[in-house]
Structures are given as C-alpha cells and as structure tokens.
Amino acid sequence: MRLAIGLAASLFLLSVTAVAEISGAALDTTPAIPSNPIKNCRITDKPNDVGGALTLEWELVPSISAAGYAGEIAIYRSTAAEGPYELAATLPGNALRYEDSGLKDHVCYYYRLIYIEEGIESAAFEAGSGVAAGQWFHTGRIPILILMLLFSATAVFFIKRARSGYTFKVRPIAGINAVDEAIGRATEMGRPILYVPGLGTAADVATIAAFTILARVARKTAEYNTRVIVPNYDPVVMTVCQEVVREAYSAAGKPDLYDPKDVFYVTQDQFPYTAAVNGIILREKTATNFYMGMFYAESLVLAETGFVAGSIQIAGTDQLVQIPFFVCACDFVLMGEELYAASAYLSKEPQQLGTLKAQDWGKVTIAALIIIGTIFATFGWKSFAAWFNVG
Amino acid sequence: MNQQQMPSEGFWSRLINIDRRWIYLVIGIVVFIPILFPIGLPVQVTKEVQNVYDRIDSLKAGSIIMIPMEYDPATMAELQPMAYAILRHCFSKGIKVISTALQIEGVTIIKNDLELIAAEYGRKYGEDYVFLGYKPYPGIVILNMGEDFRKPFPRDYYGNLLDSLPMMAGVYNYSSCAMIVNINATSGVDYWINYAHTRYGAPLAIGVTAVMATDYYAFLSSNQIFGLIGGLKGAAEYEKLINHPGLAMRAMDVQSIAHSVIVIFIIVGNIAYFSSRKKKG
Amino acid sequence: MKREIPLLIVLVFGVFMAFQYFVPHRISSNIYQEFNNWTIIIGIFTMVIGIASLLSVHYSKIRFRKEGWGYSFVTIISLIGMAGLGLFGGMENDLFIHFYRFGLSPVTATMFALLAFFIASAAYRAFRARTVLSTLLLLAAVIVMLGRVPIGEIISGWLPEPLQLSKISEFLLYVPNTAAKRTIYIGVGLGVAAVSLKIILGIERTWLGGDGK
C-alpha cells in the first residue's frame, strides 16, 4: 500500500513537474543565457602604440555560438576593483576582442564583461585588470628600419665611391635631353615658356624635383632672353619657385631680366587653376610647356590645350594614373622615378649619380626578396612574407 | 590609277586629321540622347562592390561606420550617387554614421548630402549621424583622428562639442568604428590607406572616380582595402544591391554608349592610319 | 651662413622625422603632431603671400591695360566679394551659398566634364596599332572600356565566362595592371627615398633657390 501511495505520489510529482516544464517551455520565452557565457579574458597593453590603450580578448562558450550570437556584450571599466564601473562599450554578440582607448597611462583599469540578450543580463564576468603604456620602439617596423639603414648605407657607399673618381654609366632620358632643345625653339619663335609645377606642396618629392628642373630651365631662358611664366597652385611652392628663378637669373648674370610677376600664385582650387593655365597657354601662345610635379584630373585638360595650341610639351609626374594622359598629348614624358632622377642627370655631379646606383641596388634587393618570398610561399612557408607586414 | 588614288588618300589623311570639334560634337550627342531616351541596360555587380555591401549589411543596427567624403562640384557627378547609395544602405539599417569633408570645396555639398539622406530615413543629428566638417591638411587630420576624433575636431561642423553628442559617447577613434568607407576624388585616399588602415588598423573600403580606380586594385589584392567602388559604374552596382535605382543606374546607358563610340573612333582612326600608310606605299 | 643654417635645420629635422616613425611613444607622437601643426600654420600664413601675389599681378594688368585686363578685374572683384561674404556673412550666408552653388559648382563641373571630350579626341589621335606592344595596349584599352560598362555584358554575355569582356577586364585590372603599378611604385618609392636622403645630406639643394650652390 505504501509502495502504491509512494508510486502514485511519485507519478503525481513527476507529472506535475513535467507539466510545469512543458508549460514553462511553452510560456517562458526569455532566452536561456548560460551563467558564465564569457571566459578566459586576457587584458594586455596594446603593443607598439602611443599609449592609453588596452586590448581585451575573450572566448565565448559554445552554446552562445550555437544560439547565433543573438545578444550583445557590454564592457564595463573601473579604476578600482570594487567599482564603480562605467560602460565602456557595447559590442555585437559575436565579438571576441575589444580595444579600449582614451585611457591614462600607468593607471590600473579593471573590467567586467556582461552578455545581454533581450534585456536579460548574464552574471558579470570579472575580466581582470591591465595597465596601458606607450612603447619606445615599434617592433612591427623592424623590416623597414633594416631596409632604410641598408639603403642609406648603400647610397653613402656609392656617393663616396663617386667622389673618389669612379664614373657611373647613366642611361639617357629623352625627356631631359629635350629640355634645351625645347627652350631653343621658344627662343627662335620669340614666344614665352610655360612652366607648371603641378598641384603638389613644397614637401612633395615630385615638386622638389620640379624645382630642380625649373632651375635649369630658368637658367637657360635667362641666357636666351626668353620669358618663363610659372603659375602656382600653392603659395609655398610659389615662394620657392620665385627664389629658384631669381637665383637662376642671377647665376646667368641677368638679374635685371627677372620679373617676379611672371612667377605668381593663381588659386588653390584644382579646376579654376586649370582654367587659368589654359587661358595663359591660349593667350600667351607659349612655344614650350613644361608640366613637372604632381598632377591629377587636370593633366589631360592642360596637355590637350597645349597640343591644340601647337606647343612643344614635356611632362614629368609620379602620379601613375596621369602618365597615360600625358603620353597621349605630350612630346616627352618623365615617368615616376625618372622625374626624381632629373637633378642627378642635369647636374652630372658624381655624388648625385651615386644615389641613382643605390636605387638600382635597392630594386635588385626588392626583386630578390619578392622571388624568395614567392618560392617560400609556394612551399607553404608564409612567415617570411608575413614578416614584412608592417604595422 | 594615280588619279583614282589621290582622292582616296586625301580622304584617309583628312580623316586622320579631322577637326577635333567633330569628335566633341559626336560625344556630346551620344551623351545627350540616352539621357532623354533611357534604354535601361542591365548592371552586373562586381565582387569588389559586393564586398562593401556585404560588410555593411552584416552589421547590426547601432553599429558605427565612418564615411569620410572628399568630393567637390567637379567630381560630384561621379561620387555623389555613390555616397547616396551607401548612406541609404546605412540609414535604412539603423547604422550610425560619422563623416568628415577634408576637401574645402565640397564641405557644403557633403553636409547637404548627409542631411538629405538622413531626413529620408528620419535619422536624427547627434544620435544617428555626426558631421565633423573640414580641417586643412588631410594627412595630419587623419593621423590625429587615429588618436582621438576630438584632437582635430573638438567641435563638429555645427559648433557642438563632440562630447555633447549622444552618439559620440565612448567613441574615440577608428577602433570605435566597424569600418571606414572613404568616398574620395582626391589623392587624399592614400592617406586613408597609409594612416587609417596601415597605421591604425581600421578596415577600409574606398569609393573613387573611375579614372582613379585602376590605381587601387593593387591595394585590393594586398587586402589593404576590402572593397573598391569605382566611379558611376560602381555606384550603379551599389544602387542595384540596395534596390534603389538612381542617377548612376540611369547614367550607365550614357557611359555604355560613350565608351562604344570612343572604341569606334579608335577603330576608325586605325583604319584611316593604315589605309593612308598603305596608299603612301 | 645663409646656406648652412637651412641645411643644418633640414639635417636635424630630417633625421628626427625618419627615426620618429619607429618610436610610437606619446612624447614622440606629440612632437610629430606639433611639427605637423607648424606646417599648417606656415601654410596658412603663406596664403597671405599668395593672395598678395595674385592681387599684384592682376592690379598691374589693369593698371597697364594689358591684354585681357577685364578678366583681371573680374578676378579681383570675385576674390574680394567672396572673401567678404564669407567673413562677414558666414559660410551659411544665402548669397555665399548661391554664388557657390550656381557659380563655382557648374563652372568646375564643366571643366571636369571636358575630360570626356578630350579623352575621346586624344584616344582617336594616339591609339594606333603601330607595333605589337601598342596593339596590346590598344586591345587592353578596348576590353577594359567595354568590359566595365553594361554594354560589355550584352556583347559578350553569351560567351563562356573566361572569355566575357567583363571577366577579361577584371583579369587585366587585377593582374597585369596591379603588377605594372607595383613595379612603378617600387621605383617611385626608392626614388623618393633617394631624393629625401640627398636633401637630408645636403647633396640636393635646388630647393634653396638657383642651383643651390
């Protein structure tokens, strides 16, 4: 009898529990968040940075990924273990990493992570603490440092070799050889020369190369009594160009021929500048146009106008996209590094030519590294190539 | 025989040296006609545009994207449809947007574009989007924003302190943004690649003019950018993806016909060149 | 001394900036940003020199009634007018916005749009299949031009996928184009490094004016 009552009671209890579970399952739609959905959090100082940043990395229990990461992860931060904690960020439910920035260096920060789904919060996970600090050396940039030092050493070696009397063979560049001829033509025609130093700033290497070529052009125009017009896009570039032309006229022994109004500022707006230069080409009927420096969409507009006006045109730019346009409409084009090499070619100074040799060796080194990297990567060893991924 | 050859040789020579204004006229006509009578040519989506769409589409509402826009009246025709399409995608999904305009001539246009598309979706300033405006020297500004947006922009375009905007709470630099989609018609795009991505590790996609696009495939294959939207064609692809046909899709007719006509010019030019050379012996 | 002091400044700052790249610490970063700020300040002050130059050139044209002096008059009026509107009325000033929207915008957009006409004319003139290489260039240009627009799909959509214009164009852009661009980038990068080194070491001096001697 006791057994029967016991069985009946057990069955009743089981059935009640089962009904409760079934009804519970049917009625309770709140998500079942595991009590500790976040685990194994690592807090580290962000490497190779200015400071003020910590990196948090954690794992999520498998049930969260199985549920499709429907929730969010709230990250709380405090400067004391006991709090108070403030919300630092809310991340998507599948986030496994967070970079907390804007922190003070050498201050200990404590973190709590909470998984939230449909307003239900998991228990706070005490993630630990970390201290942010800036680094004095960027370890991710070691390959660049090595290559920089190697290149500089090679350049200095060749400069010294050149000074000791060694002569380097230099390939002729048609665009540079044509400079004198183009100036001569303008002189014969009695028309001015236009020199456009591009849209770059005085800090751009292409613009610095443009100064070098301008010095040569201005010296020649001074010798031939030909006018050179230099419209500028940047006022700093204008100041340097004025100085370059003035010095060139002085060096040619004709300082009185220099007119500062021929080297002038136009505007720092791309297409109004283009319109102004086009106007100069058509009104002044320039015999020769030089386009040296950085050019963008205006390159073809300028070069086509010069072509239509019948000018001889020599262009040089390191803007690869614009090179085809210049090739279409100009007589000679200095492509990329040829523009930079101009000063070495024009001056013929041995120490200048020495750096050209260093550039060649730089190319050989890079080509060798590419070949080695390709072979290693083909055989599955990608660490070599990965080493060059600089941060 | 010679008498028969002469007019023919003259024709080819004349064709080679045709007055360029005839070419301008033909281009003008072929650009104008499809605008009046649209054909509706189909647009095929490329993987570099699809990547941008997929990355944005995978974000949840409330995520933050940075969309710096650098175009001016000159390049507006090419890049504005792209900006509209991306902003529509973001605002329709409740994604928040931080924007800058680092090209002085375009500041007003970009401010208006942001306000226009935000209003379309009822998005509020300061809560759903923030416009930081302009500061000179883009390279330096981009570097400084990598540390903290407040360094170059303590206040937004409208003069509000960044800390007073609800959306900017806890948002310091690029690491607070899910990605950067830079719409850019200037060489400033290199700064975004070199500084925002390489130096600060921000995931970056770019939208550039068609002529610039060829320059950036190298960055796409090296994974320095995860997506590339090139010119009006790219914008048309994005319009197709968000199912919101606009100016770019309509312009595809114009671009198709204009490109075809240029190809015909090249063929005719070559026929004339070889014929005149053959005649000359 | 006129030459030595600038060369010394360039040497010190050049070496500092080169090594600053390898020091991410806040102190180094702050100095770097401070120098960048100097660049901005110097740039803004030189704008005054630029505007003075512009005014001087155009004033002289008007004064001596040189050819096209009327345009110079328009330039000066526009410069003073827009600057005045912006300074006294603010950037949101209706008149300022109207001049921008209905004056500057269409004019600059037209200038950019001219490219389409110039490209057509230049392509007609320059694309000639003279040699094997120029023929390859011409073919690549035609494929990319057609492959990047919907008409390419219509022309070649019926072909097997690898032969479709859009796919060949994609290949050309991703492979030969990228390879060529990277090669030129490497050359340009080394060229920049060489010129920078020459400037830092004082070998390249033309930026000082004249031939730098």
pLDDT in tens, A184-220: 889 999 999 999 999 988 888 899 889 989 988 999 9
Measured between beta carbons, which residues in chain B are less than 8 angstroms from residue A390?
198
B141-165 in b/e burial notation, b at 16+ Cβ within 10 A?
Answer: bbbbbbbbbbebbeebbeeeebeeb
| Phi, psi (deg, nearest 5) at residue A317 | -150, 155
**pTM (2 d.p.):** 0.81
Q: What is the mean pLDDT of residues B238-249?
A: 92
Q: How far is B218 from chain A (nearest CA, A)?
A: 12
Report the percent of chain B where pLDDT is more than 70. 96
R_g of chain B, CA atoms, integer Å? 23
Which of A208, A239, A356, A388 is the best residue to mutate to test the C interface, defined by the most C CB atoms within 10 Å of its own CB?
A: A208
Q: In terms of CA atoms, which chain B residue is nearest residue A390?
A: B198
Measured between beta carbons, which residues in chain A are less than 8 angstroms from residue C191?
205, 318, 336-337, 339-341, 359
Q: Euclidean distance between the first and final Cα of chain A, in Å?
A: 80
Q: How far is A180 from chain B (nearest CA, A)?
A: 29
pLDDT in tens, C22-39: 998 888 888 887 887 888
**Which residue from A88, A296, A308 is facing B170, i.e. has the nearest CB?**
A88
B6 or A69, higher pLDDT: A69
Query: Measured on CA atoms in the order B262, B265, B271, B273, is the torsion positive or negative?
Result: negative
Confidence at residue A125, expressed as pLDDT on a 0 to 100 scale:
85
pLDDT in tens, A168-188: 877 788 888 888 889 988 999
CA A110 to chain centre: 35
Confidence of residue A314 (pLDDT cuts 50, 70, 90): very high
Which of B175, B199, B200 is the best residue to mutate to test the A interface, defined by the most A CB atoms within 10 Å of its own CB?
A: B175
Judged by CB atoms within 8 Å, which residues 171-200 of C form the interface with B? 173-174, 177-178, 181-182, 185
Measured between beta carbons, which residues in chain A are less than 8 angstroms from residue C50?
232, 234-235, 238, 265, 268
Judged by CB atoms within 8 Å, which residues 73-112 of C form the interface with B? 91, 97, 100-101, 104-106, 108-109, 111-112
Report the percent of chain A where pLDDT is more than 70. 89
The two structure tokens encoding residue A37: 């959905």
Contact C117 B255 (CB under 8 A): no
**Which residue from B75, B148, B187 is facing A102, i.e. has the nearest CB?**
B148
Q: Is residue A89 less than 8 Å (CB to CB) from chain B? A: yes
Q: What is the mean pLDDT of residues C50-64?
A: 91
Q: Is residue B41 less than 8 Å (CB to CB) from chain C? A: yes
pLDDT in tens, C133-150: 888 888 998 999 898 888
pLDDT in tens, B91-120: 999 999 999 999 888 898 999 999 999 999
Confidence of residue A111 (pLDDT cuts 50, 70, 90): very high
A283 or C37, higher pLDDT: A283
Which of A382-391, B174-183, C18-27 comes out lowest in average pLDDT? Answer: A382-391
B29-56 in b/e burial notation, b at 16+ Cβ within 10 A?
Answer: ebbeebeeeeeebebbebebbebbbebb
**Which residue from A101, A319, A321 is facing B173, i.e. has the nearest CB?**
A101
Pairing of strands A53-60, A38-45: antiparallel
Residue C206 has pLDDT above 60, yes or no: yes
Range list of H helices, A28-58 = none
Confidence at residue A332, expressed as pLDDT on a 0 to 100 scale:
92
Q: Is residue A49 less than 8 Å (CB to CB) from chain C? A: yes
**Which residue from B41, B214, B220 is facing C150, i.e. has the nearest CB?**
B41
Q: What is the mean pLDDT of residues A23-49?
A: 69
Q: Taking all residues of chain A, what is their mean pLDDT, rounded to a whole number?
A: 84
Measured between beta carbons, which residues in chain B are less than 8 angstroms from residue A271?
74
DSSP type of residue A103: P
Dihedral, CA of residue B164, residue B168, residue B172 and residue B177, to nearest 10: -170
Residue A391 has pLDDT above 70, yes or no: no
Measured between beta carbons, which residues in chain C are less than 8 angstroms from residue A274?
111
ipTM reported for the complex, 2 dp: 0.84
- Name chain B's partners: 3 or more CB pairs within 8 A: A, C
Contact C198 A352 (CB under 8 A): yes
Confidence of residue A95 (pLDDT cuts 50, 70, 90): confident
Measured between beta carbons, which residues in chain B are less than 8 angstroms from residue A294?
187
Listed residue (A204, A148, A209, A177) closest to A358, CA to CA:
A148
Residue B5 has pLDDT above 50, yes or no: no
Contact A92 B63 (CB under 8 A): yes
Residue B70 has pLDDT above 50, yes or no: yes
Contact C119 A264 (CB under 8 A): no
Which of A62-71, A299-308, A361-370, B2-11 comes out lowest in average pLDDT? Answer: B2-11
Confidence at residue A33, expressed as pLDDT on a 0 to 100 scale:
65
How far apart CA B99 and CA B69 sit, in angstroms, is 7
**Which residue from A49, A205, A267 is facing C196, i.e. has the nearest CB?**
A205
- Helix, strand, or coil (residue A296): coil
- Name chain A's partners: 3 or more CB pairs within 8 A: B, C
Q: What is the mean pLDDT of residues A327-354?
A: 83
Q: Is residue B257 less than 8 Å (CB to CB) from chain C? A: yes
- Name chain C's partners: 3 or more CB pairs within 8 A: A, B
Contact C91 B108 (CB under 8 A): yes
- A312's CB contacts (< 8 A; 6+ apart) are A178, A182, A185, A186, A287, A288, A289, A331
Range list of H helices, chain A = 2-27, 62-66, 142-163, 174-189, 205-224, 235-251, 270-284, 298-309, 323-329, 337-340, 342-347, 350-378, 383-386
pLDDT in tens, A126-137: 888 999 998 999
